Chain A
């Protein structure tokens, strides 16, 4: 198990270095330059020259990368040119918000998707299966932005039950925090629930048709025990892998939901940074997302190995 862990960690480091290099180079391909974008309506040439020099924009690309990488090794992700704040502070401020939103969305997805997938597999080709599939199709096809606006109109404008936007830290008020997060978590979790349901259904169908399940059934194991004890652990492996991937995507892909509900998370930070050519912020956000993604995948592999011991030797 330890060797497995060390191997996986060793693979993670070059992955992160390559990811950071790719994003560093890709950003340079964006038309327009930071100094011009940030020089204000007046475009004072002296201001432009000052910004170039202060943020090393006048240096060649490899030098800039080396300066940035050197900083990262010392825990310094640089400074946001637009907000004049250390990127690490922005990350520390935004990451918990996005993580909470992603966790709640994942909870919504699991609570809706997995039971529906199991039900759909067990009641294959029956009414429940058709209904579950219909709901999944709806969840996949409804755009987040539209669903978000509709929910705000219903729950905030007409009923006045939930706040339309904003974020309150759970340490300030847990109830206010949850009130603000219910709608965004549902909107975000909704689409993933559909994917979860489809994958759970497929995995369960595969397992339910296998010999050992038939044997267990012949031995008189109760249907509930058969599903929960015998079938689900085997079907869980693809679901865990999918969950980790989807969770990673949630960290960087919650942009629209964050915009609709004005949740001050990573997505909003990233979009603003890209439009303002705030390279240090983009780079910082990407490296943090990539790290989280790599760790999540590692976590999923470990969890899968824990659930299925055969994988530890693979």
Chain B
């Protein structure tokens, strides 16, 4: 046994993997789900798609749309038709040409594939028309301002029609797209391997030969692997691990604020629950010190917020700045509501951070008279309770979308799937319809203000803060730029 052990150690010392110099090893927080842009639903699968599947449009670091597979686009005056022109000479990984017919096929597949997660995102599309070899027109049932933003994500990913037809609903086993890397293999829970696509339209920007995506759910283990040289890059470093990384001369950190939000959803229609009274929800809101919460739990690294977009976002409604904590007012509101000591159960995920956030909120609201009970559960259980309305308050995270519509419509419009608060208000619905009806920034700003007028008063949910996404990577890696959608752009990355 000892000899075997010694032999292994010697073998290890000799073969410390120089062959991997051109392979980027990327540590993911979870194993992605199905690698089919129409069916995929997790944030982590988007990390892999960034290598495999280019989109019609990308977003720049400033959140503005930039050309990717489509080089230009124009909206008709009535905003009901979007005409896009494709980049010439783009090939899918199987050698098939990306033309207008292929784009039409991909968009229709997103709309029609049974179980497609994209259908809801681009539901206002009526039909797609091929204009010429590289031009296609998307005709909408009604104007839909977030359409272009939807094409910066999975709904804008183009798949090879030939491969999609051949593989059907098994497309995820060997995805064929038009991204910088092609699929090689996947061993569930171990690795996903992709390899540089030599006929990629922008191949001069791709300096890495292979990428190995390795799911390592535990944050400590992920970081240890980076420190041991088993990984070159990892996503979602926990803020508490930051000092370890900054102290290490062989590691670097990249960060950006998320597009999403962290919030508390109130079950505003629950009979017998204290939170059914809007004054109680207002008191709860006033009892929270967002800046202190951020300081205590996240070392001040996150961004306190009070709206569906962060205070740094162009669509932030400036008339409603971050509220200050006001215990006296909170107590007065509770007295007015006739519930001086409301009891509220707060459902949180049993992960590393959410229970801590819950505890701080519990302590803060206690000073106003609240008796908050924490209920920590796994993700699916919490979701089930939210779906069935078996909760008072629910600490809820949303990963965010580039267009603010993606952070509001499904949560606040009447009878939408993520509206766990069961909020239904005609004025809020009108504001949401108005923001969808035009791409004009000035008119949309008015709509956002109207929505804020209602939501800030009714508080079906209160927004608490916006996370910062951290990446840690080896100093061997250069050219890394954080993007607000939390995804890595592999173009321009170099491994030395």
Binding site for B on A (CB under 8 A): 30-33, 36-47, 50-51, 54, 82-85, 90, 93-94, 107-108, 111, 149, 152-153, 156-157, 160-167, 175-176, 178-179, 182, 259-260, 262, 264, 268-269, 272, 275-277
Contact = CB atoms under 8 A, between A and B. Distances in A.
Residue of B12, B41, B191, B377 with most partner-chain A CB within 10 A:
B12
Interface string B90-128: 000000000000000000000000111101110000000
A259 B29 CA distance: 12
A160 B188 contact: no
Contact of B115 (A50, A85, A175): A50
A82 to B, nearest CB: 6
16 contacts: A32-B378, A32-B380, A40-B41, A40-B42, A43-B417, A44-B117, A47-B117, A84-B170, A156-B229, A160-B13, A165-B216, A166-B191, A166-B230, A179-B11, A262-B190, A262-B215
B34 A84 contact: yes
Residue of A41, A82, A161 with most partner-chain B CB within 10 A:
A41
Interface stretch (B79-87, B220-228, B262-270, B276-284): B220-228
A182 B220 CA distance: 20
Contacts of A39: 41, 117
B9 interface: yes
Given A149-B221, A175-B11, A178-B8, 7 more contacts: A30-B381, A44-B119, A84-B172, A90-B188, A152-B225, A164-B230, A275-B378
Interface residues of B, number: 60
Nearest to A264: B190
Contact of B12 (A30, A45, A161, A166): A161
B320 interface: no
B383 A37 contact: yes
Contact of A38 (B11, B41, B189, B410): B41
Nearest to B1: A111
B15 interface: yes
A167 B216 CA distance: 13
A264 B188 contact: yes
B31 interface: yes
A166 B117 contact: no
B428 to A, nearest CB: 20
A40 to B, nearest CB: 3
Contact of A162 (B12, B115, B381, B385): B12
A275 B230 contact: no
A287 B468 CA distance: 43
Contact of A45 (B114, B117, B214, B417): B417
A43 B221 CA distance: 31
A33 B114 CA distance: 20
Contact of B116 (A47, A153, A176, A179): A47
Contacts of A260: 218, 221
A271 to B, nearest CB: 9
B169 A160 contact: no
Contact of A178 (B4, B31, B229, B380): B4
Given A43-B417, A83-B34, A156 B383 contact: no
A32 B41 contact: no
B359 interface: no
Interface string B348-388: 00000000000000000000000000000111110111010
Interface string B192-230: 000000000000000000000011111011001101111
Given A42-B121, A44-B117, A149-B221, A160 B41 contact: no
B218 A259 contact: yes
Nearest to B215: A262
Contacts of B384: 31-33, 36
A274 to B, nearest CB: 9
A156 B221 CA distance: 12
A54 B190 CA distance: 27
A85 B188 contact: yes
B121 A152 contact: no
Given A149-B221, A165-B216, A262-B214, A277 B380 contact: yes
Given A149-B224, A156-B230, A93 B120 contact: no
Nearest to A167: B190
The 10 closest A-B pairs by CB, nearest first: A40-B41, A32-B380, A264-B190, A156-B228, A32-B384, A164-B228, A43-B417, A175-B11, A50-B115, A31-B381
